[in-house]
Amino acid sequence: MRNAYHGKYVVITGASLGLGKAIAERLAAEGCNLILLSLPQENLGACCDELAVNYGINTLYYETDLRDEDNIRKFAEWALAQDVEIAGLVNNAGIGGSSFFEKTDLLNIDSMILINIRALTLMTRLFVPELKKRDKSFILNVSSIAAFKPMPYKTVYPASKAYVYSFSVGLGEELKETPVHVAVLHPGPMDTSVENAARISKHGFLGKLVHLSVDEVAEIGVQQLLAGKKVIIPGIFNKICIRLLKTIPRDVAMPILTKVLRKEAYKIPQRQKA
């Protein structure tokens, strides 16, 4: 049985690699046409061609830097000017990493805020009017299990993902009487790159326990999105982890997180893609 978005277009940011690429493939398998967005020179055109051939869908792509507000507006204008039915938006683009806050480059901090928070918010605002024109549409925002607890040596990242969670739930309530379904996805550690794999390895047994591949997260995320879930937490151990993060007193949790994440801050480069 075809889903409601079969043959419709879905916009996906950060779509050239990692989770964004995996979500693009999963939605393509569901028969969705795609408008993919990434930074320049990330081989996005080839990715689009591959998806089109493998799944018999139509694809469009656009390359730009979402740290620039003008670029966000130009992309939205371009996408909305295409003669296609846009029925979905996946805000996946994000930046993460670990470091000592006082040693983190100001550009890295600013980039994380601009992409994880501002770009996601502005993209959503620019596409909501179009999504409301459909009989059924969705917004899927990618947060993290880090959204549920402050974390030393990450500081800005979990704060930015807590924003994504709060924004998504609030917007979903605001739009509940419209055709737009809003969902937020909270993945745990994923080996989206060589650097991320190295980072996860520093977490030891706990990191391995909650680790899922990007394909597994995409499969669960898209499946539960299509089923109408609002808050999506992939994996049983991630669900347990989030429950613990919510219930363990801060004075108990912080020393544990500090011990785990300090190793990462000492050994992993400051900026990485989420």
Question: Annotated catalytic sites, by residue?
Answer: 157
The DSSP result for 246-260, as a single string, is HHS-HHHHHHHHHHH
- Rounded CA separation 88/30 (Å): 13
Is the CB of residue 188 less than 8 Å from the CB of residue 234?
Answer: yes
Phi/psi region, residue 247 (left: phi>0; alpha: psi -120 to 50; beta: rest), is alpha
Is the CB of residue 145 less than 8 Å from the CB of residue 103?
Answer: no
- Rounded CA separation 139/182 (Å): 5
The percent helix, strand, coil of the chain (3-state, each to 5) is: 55, 15, 30
Cα separation values, 218 from 159, 221, 245, Å = 23, 5, 23
Residue 146 DSSP symbol: G
In three-state form (DSSP H/G/I as H, E/B as E, the rest C), the secondary structure along 29-90 is HCCCEEEEEECCCCCHHHHHHHHHHHHCCCEEEEECCCCCHHHHHHHHHHHHHCCCCEEEEE
115 token code pair: 């992409």
271 token code pair: 């900026």
| Tally of residues, the chain | 274
